[in-house]
Amino acid sequence: MESQELTTYDTEMIMGLVVAITGTRQTEHHELSWYAEIFDRYLGPWATPDTRWYIGGARGVDSLSLLWLAGNSRSGITVVVPGTVAQQPADARQAMEQCRDRIDEIVELGAAELRTPAYHARNRWMVDRSGVIAGFPLAGPEGVSGTWQTINYAAGQGKPRLIVPV
Q: What are 15-37's pLDDT values in tens digits?
A: 589 999 999 999 999 999 999 99
What pLDDT, on a 0 to 100 scale, did the predictor assign at position 59? Answer: 94
- Please tell me the distance from the alpha carbon of residue 64 to that of residue 8, in angstroms, as a whole number: 26
The pLDDT of residue 49 is above 60: yes
Q: What is residue 5's predicted lDDT score, i.e. its pLDDT?
A: 56
**9-163 CATH fold:** Rossmann fold (3.40.50)
CA distances from 108 to 16, 100, 105, 141, 161 (A): 24, 15, 10, 32, 25
* Residue 122 identity: R
- Report the b/e string of 71-98 with b at 16+ CB within 10 A: eebebbbbbbbbbeeebbeeebbebbee
pLDDT recorded at residue 11: 46
The pLDDT of residue 144 is above 80: no
Lowest-pLDDT choice from 6-10, 95-99, 125-129: 6-10
Dist. CA 41–CA 8, nearest whole Å: 28
Position 4 scores a pLDDT of 54
Mean pLDDT of 73-78: 97
Average pLDDT over residues 74-103: 96
- Per-residue pLDDT, averaged over 120-147, amounts to 92
Element (H, E) at 41: helix 32-42
The beta-carbon contacts of 69-75 under 8 Å, at least 24 apart in sequence, are 69/39, 69/43, 69/102, 70/98, 70/99, 70/102, 70/103, 72/39, 72/40, 72/44, 72/47, 73/47, 73/48, 74/47, 74/48, 74/49, 75/46, 75/47, 75/48, 75/49, 75/50, 75/51
Mean pLDDT of 36-51: 96
What is the pLDDT confidence band of residue 6, given thresholds at 50, 70 and 90? Answer: very low
Q: Sign of the C-alpha dihedral, residues 99, 100, 103, 106?
A: positive
Residue type, 137: P
